[in-house]
Chain A
Amino acid sequence: MKSCLIVDDSKVIRMVAKKILNELGFRTEEAEDGIVALDRCIKQMPDAVLLDWNMPNMNGLEFLHELRKLPDGDRPIVVFCTTENDIDHIQEAITAGANEYIMKPFDSEILQAKFSQVGLL
């Protein structure tokens, strides 16, 4: 069973994502900001990260930069999931090492499509 870390400061979004990902066969963990997420990754590297952009303490982009510096930090497949939906933001995320990018609002169909595109399904 693959693992996915859900990083979002909204509890509701984490809940929705968790439900969809569980149905897709993922074991999930949650983090409410980049710092907590980084901590989780240091303890155990997930197979995938579903990552919000705007969060307190450490945002998604900063988290991604830090993650990729960790030993084994290039392993997780990172899928941004954010309301930022302009080309500049998307480009910045890709440059930082994101594998895919979901623009909110999302549903199970989009999540499934994106996860299978990057080979997670």
Chain B
Amino acid sequence: MLRPEDFDFLAKLLKERSGLVITPDKAYLLESRLTPLARARNLKGIEDIVAKMRGHDEALARDVTEAMTTNESFFFRDTKPFDQFKDIVLPQVMAARMAKKSIRIWSAACSSGQEAYSLAMLLKEQSAKLNGWHVEIVGTDISVEMLDKAKAGLYSQFEVQRGLPIQMLVKYFKKKDESWQIDAGLRAMVQFREWNLLKDLRGLGQFDIVFCRNVLIYFDQPTKAGVLENISKLMPADAFLYLGGAETVLGISERFKPMAGQRGIYCLNKDGAATPSFPLKAPN
């Protein structure tokens, strides 16, 4: 059994490092995900993990944080956002950037890269229209393990069968032993970087389209508001934000407003009051 003081220590650490909120009713998650980690490190159990971290063990704290995040992702997740991207968002952004001919897209909390690569495939399919354009896709995540996987672009047979149309698999992937690897050409279109959403985001530059899906859901209200506020600062007035199917800005941030008729897409709210700035704590 997890001792209350260990639970409190872990909950606080996770909240500070990644924003993840663990309530007492989810204590079982700590046990199921941290017990294997303890075993892998030859520690007796969660108690030992906590004891070691109380004495400051950065590497262990990192591993604990990674072990507790949910990394599930799939290609073309929810389908619709990608149709909207192709049919509505990309044409609008292109029209607005005609002079510059440059677009930057961000997959924030990209996990193992499926979202970023789905976008890369869609852009590849539009190569004729994008001739002469410079399009950059940046994928960021807190998990180094997921980023390594994303960079390798290697997916299991199971992963390539969830959401990826078979024509795309044939066109853009090669079989490598029992796995499937996305083409080097597509891998070169995406830049993956380690970045904590709770940290100062300004070093990432400006983005015309931001995908921040299925990550805010794990945060509490003030953290959600703070992250949305910081993301809004990276977006020019005519940029677009995508949130996940179970996420919204309503009641959380006035910096964004839903795009009329397009579920899941948000635009900057010019009159929206800035959410009071708040300390987003995270180690550098």
Contact = CB atoms under 8 A, between A and B. Distances in A.
Contact of A101 (B158, B166, B174): B166
A90 B170 contact: yes
A94 B163 contact: no
A103 B157 contact: yes
B161 A110 contact: yes
B170 A94 contact: yes
A90 B169 contact: yes
Contact of A86 (B74, B161, B166, B175): B175
Contacts, number: 34
A1 interface: no
A1 B170 CA distance: 32
Given A85-B157, A90-B169, A103-B157, A113 B174 contact: no
Interface residues of A, number: 18
B161 A106 contact: yes
B162 interface: yes
A23 interface: no
B174 A87 contact: yes
Contacts of B163: 113, 117
A10 interface: no
A85 B162 CA distance: 15
Contacts of B167: 94
A85 B158 CA distance: 12
Interface in B59-99: 74, 79
16 contacts: A87-B170, A87-B175, A90-B169, A94-B166, A94-B167, A94-B170, A102-B161, A103-B157, A103-B161, A106-B161, A109-B162, A110-B158, A113-B74, A113-B163, A116-B79, A117-B79
Given A87-B174, A94-B167, 19 more contacts: A85-B175, A87-B170, A87-B175, A90-B166, A90-B170, A94-B166, A94-B170, A101-B166, A103-B157, A110-B162, A113-B74, A113-B161, A113-B162, A113-B163, A114-B161, A116-B79, A117-B79, A117-B163, A117-B165
Interface of A: 85-87, 90-91, 94, 98, 100-103, 106, 109-110, 113-114, 116-117
